[in-house]
Chain A
Amino acid sequence: MSLPVVSIAETKGALVRPCPGTRHHICCGYTTIDLVEGCVLSCSYCVLKDYLNTPGVRVHKDMSYLLQQVQEAMERCNGHIPRFGTGELSDSLALDRKLRLNEHLITFFGEKKRGLLELKSKWASIDHLRPFLNPYTVISFSLAPPRIISEEEKRTSPLHKRLKTLRKAQDLGCFVGLHFDPIIIYPGFEKDYEYLIGDVGRILDLSRVIWVSMGLLRFMPKSMARFLGEGSKNLLAGEFTRGEDGKYRYIKAERVRVYRMIHDLLKEQEEELFVYLCMERSDVWEQVTGRRLVTNEELIRLFDTRIQQFYGGVL
């Protein structure tokens, strides 16, 4: 397994964009910063393998151009607290110790105090960011049971390192986010999530977890052929159907069952946790959380409320 080639790309066009979302599914209204396109971690289920046209990693280094776009996006965002992230087309931290790009963004958000930057990762390395960290950066990690990390996320940091790093971020004064995404259904996964969430509760200060997302495995038809070719036992264990957006998803009855289970496990740890579903249907939201959301706007408002709880009137 060779590492993808990292190249510097000419910085042009829109690099700061609203998350494209997906039809008939509730989207959180996140704004993506495509600082890096492509990922060296190469997780087996990664949508980028079938989404990006080029196999390597492209890095945009023209920070002033990029920050100008972030500034403009902040100004466009009326009435809501804008949330930005670099983890849509890449891992936010995997290459950062070498590239040193996040420090500019972190500093920018700390100075502007107009929105939040989320660094979303599976790579437990934040020490190089210590001098720059401020409360306007949320450090987030995708979390999965050790079996999935060792079999499907082979180049990433192990679970204990991710949790330790999250705790370190909390101790440095940052709020943290947790992403249970993708949740993969395989024989015995229920018990593994019980242990995982138990570990989360023991290691982290859950009162300083700003948000938790849940998203069950979903993928494009192209990926199905890849999973079959690679014999991906974990990824193909569940029952799938094609959603209205054309992607494969676990059938709804399974999604409701699994989301409820994990939602309840999280709430047992900390009743006040803000748990949201990534790209789910309105009725699934209702079955899982008891909350009926019809539009993206309603979820964005929930985020605003949550952020205000954490930041008061500062944002």
Chain B
Amino acid sequence: MEKIAIDRIDIDDRRFCVSYPLSDELLRASVQQYGILSPCLLLDLPPLVVVTGFKRMEAARNLGFQEIPFLILQRGEREALLTAINDNMMRGFNTVEKALCVDKMSSAGFSSDEIQAMMPFLGLQAHDKTATLCHAVAASEEATKTFLLSHGITLNGAEQLFAFDADERTGIISLLSPHRLTVSHIREILQSLRLLTIREGSLPLDALSGAANVEELRRRLKRRINPLMTLHEEEWVKITHDAGFPSGMEVRVDPFFEKEDVHVCLTASSEEDVEGFAAKLDGLVKDGYFRRIFELTRGLYRGN
């Protein structure tokens, strides 16, 4: 294979780069072991521009290689970009790479119809809204891209994050990064943060930061979004604690205090057990515990 000196290539020209991130430890180890086995495709421009092989190039540079195997592509820029996309399509694109494909097509002068025709091949819905989101993702800061990839967030999921501006996104990523989060946690938390931003006019990040874990963060969000519901839950915990329901007696209410009914389940193995439960229930009624429970389930509790 013919080789070319790396310094003859404009490695900073990334107009055809649809790979993200460029650093790839496995590929680096492979290049170190075997060298670059597939030639990089270079567009015949002065200076030469990489069309495919950005990751190989990155690995070669980091390893101190002076030259790389190459092939020259003699085509126009639009065809070069389509070549780059098609060449990488086989391995599958991540969320950021899909966004890069759409964004670079737009920069290369492809029409909206042409871009939308490509989108289904990228696993995207052919909508203007999706294309707009792709541009936002492609232009986003590194921390955001890393966050999307490290949490396996799809472009659909990214829409929630990009409802916030760049500063807010940075704040949200710092808030969430310390925690182990599932995609559904992220969805729920972003929805809550969006709601708070709409209600309060800005993101209350200071009040939310420093949570010990994701559950603590969710609790803080809930207290802020649903203060009265939180008071209901705290009152319910207090009632069950103070009432001291005996073993074999289970008292249940609707977790959202929407249904009026209170379920009292007794598990008895003797007549004496039943007698004991009856006496306990009588005491609980006289002491006002059931009145307090029904205040919760009938919508009469105001937290005071």
- Interface residues of chain A, those whose CB is within 8 Å of chain B, are 24, 228-229, 231-233, 236-237, 239, 241-244, 249, 251-257, 281-284, 287
Residues of chain B within 8 A (CB-CB) of A252 are 257-258, 298-299
Determine if B243 is an interface residue (Cβ-Cβ < 8 Å): no
B257 contacts A251, CB within 8 Å?
yes
- The answer for the CA separation of A243 and B199 in the assembled complex, in Å, is 22
Q: How far is the CB of B46 from chain A (nearest CB, A)?
A: 47
Chain-A contact segment, one of B12-20, B118-126, B221-229: B221-229
Shortest Cβ-Cβ A-B pairs, 5 listed: A252-B299, A256-B299, A283-B260, A241-B256, A253-B299
Q: Check: B91 CB closer than 8 A to any chain A CB.
A: no
CA distance A239 to B199 in the complex (A): 11
Looking at the complex, which one of B228, B259, B298, B300 makes contact with A251 (CB distance below 8 Å)? Answer: B228
CA distance A237 to B228 in the complex (A): 13
* Interchain CA distance A236-B199 in the complex, whole Å: 7
Do the beta carbons of A253 and B199 come within 8 Å of each other? no
Cβ of B198 under 8 Å from chain A: yes
Asked if B232 lies at the interface with its beta carbon under 8 angstroms from chain A, I say yes
CA of A254 to CA of B226, assembled, Å: 11
Cα distance A254–B163 in the bound complex, in angstroms:
29
Cβ–Cβ < 8 Å partners of A232 in chain B = 198
B194 and A256 contacting across the interface, CB-CB below 8 Å: no
Q: How far is the CA of A100 from the CA of B202 in the complex (A)?
A: 49
Docked-complex contact B194 and A228, CB < 8 angstroms: yes
Q: Is the CB of A228 within 8 A of B298?
A: no
Please name 17 pairs of A and B residues whose Cβ atoms are closer than 8 Å in the assembled complex, sorted by A: A228-B198, A239-B225, A241-B258, A244-B258, A249-B258, A251-B226, A251-B256, A251-B258, A252-B299, A253-B228, A253-B257, A253-B300, A254-B299, A257-B299, A282-B260, A283-B297, A284-B299
Residue B290, interface by CB 8 Å:
no
> What residue in chain A is nearest B260 (Cβ atoms)?
A283
Q: How many residues from B make CB contacts under 8 Å with A? A: 23
How far does the alpha carbon of A252 sit from the alpha carbon of B298 in the complex, in Å?
7
Confirm or deny: B279 has a beta carbon within 8 angstroms of a beta carbon on chain A: no
- Given the interface contacts A256-B299, A287-B300, does A251 sit within 8 Å of B199 by beta carbon? no
Given contacts A228-B195, A287-B300, 17 further A-B contacts (CB under 8 A): A228-B194, A229-B163, A232-B198, A239-B226, A241-B229, A242-B256, A244-B258, A251-B228, A251-B232, A252-B298, A253-B232, A253-B299, A256-B300, A257-B299, A282-B260, A283-B297, A287-B299
Interface residues of B (CB under 8 A from A): 163, 191, 194-195, 198-199, 225-229, 232, 256-260, 297-302
- How far apart sit A253 and B301, CA to CA, in the bound complex (Å)? 6
Chain B residue nearest to A237 in the complex (CB): B199
Q: Is the CB of A233 within 8 A of B229?
A: no
Docked complex Cα distance between A253 and B194 (Å): 24
The answer to whether A253 and B195 touch across the interface, beta carbons within 8 angstroms, is no
Report the separation of the CA atoms of residues A256 and B256 in the bound assembly, to the nearest whole angstrom: 15
CB-CB under 8 A from B198, the residues of chain A are 228, 231-233, 236
Asked if residues B228 and A239 are in contact (CB atoms below 8 Å), the reply is yes
A257 touches B195 (CB 8 A): no
Cβ 8 A contact of B299, one of A231, A233, A243, A255: A255
- Residues of B near A255 (CB, < 8 A) are 299
Measured between beta carbons, the chain B residues less than 8 angstroms from A249 are 258
- Chain A residue with minimal CB distance to B226? A239
Which residues from chain B contact A242 at a C-beta distance below 8 Å? Answer: 256
Best-buried of B194, B198, B229, B257 by chain A (most CB within 10 Å):
B198
Whether A233 touches B199, Cβ cut-off 8 Å, given contacts A228-B163, A251-B228, is: yes
In angstroms, Cα B229 to Cα A106, docked, is 47
CB distance from B127 to the nearest CB of A (A): 14
Q: Which residues of B contact A24 (CB under 8 A)?
A: 259
With A236-B195, A237-B199, A243-B258 known as contacts, the answer to whether A254 contacts B228 (CB < 8 A) is yes
A215 to chain B, nearest CB (A): 16
Closest chain A CB from B62 CB (angstroms): 43
Task: Determine the residue in chain A with the shortest Cβ distance to B200.
Answer: A233
A164 to B114, CA, bound (A): 55
Q: Which of A228, A237, A256 contacts B191 (CB 8 A)?
A: A228
Minimum distance in angstroms from A189 CB to a CB of chain B: 14
Identity of the chain A residue whose Cβ is nearest the Cβ of B301 in the assembled complex: A253
Bound-state Cα–Cα, A24 to B256, Å: 15
Closest chain B CB from A97 CB (angstroms): 36
Asked if A257 and B226 make an inter-chain contact with CB atoms under 8 angstroms apart, the answer reads: no
Q: How far is the CB of A256 from chain B (nearest CB, A)?
A: 4
B259 contacts across to A, CB distance below 8 A: 24, 244
Cβ–Cβ < 8 Å partners of A233 in chain B: 198-199
Per the bound structure, the CA–CA distance linking A287 and B198 in Å amounts to 32
Complex CA–CA separation, A304 to B163 (angstroms): 51
Residues on A with C-beta less than 8 A from B298 are 252, 256, 283, 287
A235 to B167, CA, bound (A): 26
In the bound complex, CA of A249 to CA of B228 (Å): 14
Q: Write out the residue numbers on chain A whose beta carbons fall within 8 Å of the beta carbon of B199.
A: 233, 236-237
Give the distance in Å from the alpha carbon of A229 to the alpha carbon of B191 in the complex: 10
Chain B contacts for A243, CB-based, 8 A: 258
